[in-house]
Amino acid sequence: MAETALVLGGGGLTGIGWEAGVLAGLAEAGADPGAADVVIGTSAGSVVGAQLTSGSVTPEQLYERQLVDPRGEVAGRVGPAVMSRYALAALRSRDTRAFGRRMGRLALATRTAAGEADRRAVIGRRLLSHAWPERRLLITAVDAATGEFRVFDAASGVGIVDAVAASCAVPGVWPPVPIGGRHWIDGGVRSSANADVADGCRRVLILAPMAGGGGPVPTVRAQAERLAAAGARVELITPDRAARAAFGRNPLDPARRAAAARAGRAQAAAHAAAVKALWQE
> Which positions are catalytic?
43, 186
What span, in angstroms and rounded, lies between the C-alpha atoms of 137 and 40? 6
Spatial contact of 193 and 217, defined as CB atoms under 8 Å apart: no
Q: In this structure, which amino acid lies at residue 102? A: R
Asked if residue 264 lies in contact with residue 17, where contact means CB atoms within 8 angstroms, the answer is: yes
DSSP 22: H
Q: How many CB atoms lie within 10 A of CB 186?
A: 29
Strand bridging mode 136-143 / 38-41: parallel
Nearest Cα to Cα of residue 175 among 140, 128, 123, 98 = 123
Residue 52 · residue 207 · CB < 8 Å: no
Distance CA 165, CA 162 (A): 5
Q: How far apart are CA 43 and CA 185, in angstroms?
A: 9
| CA–CA dist 128, 246 (Å, integer) | 26
Is residue 60 within 8 Å of residue 20, measured between CB atoms? no
Cα–Cα separations (whole angstroms), residue 64 to 16, 42, 214, 246, 265: 12, 22, 34, 17, 11
Q: How far is CA 98 from the centre of its chain?
A: 21
Rounded CA-CA distance 266/257 in Å is 14
Q: Which residue type sits at 51?
A: Q
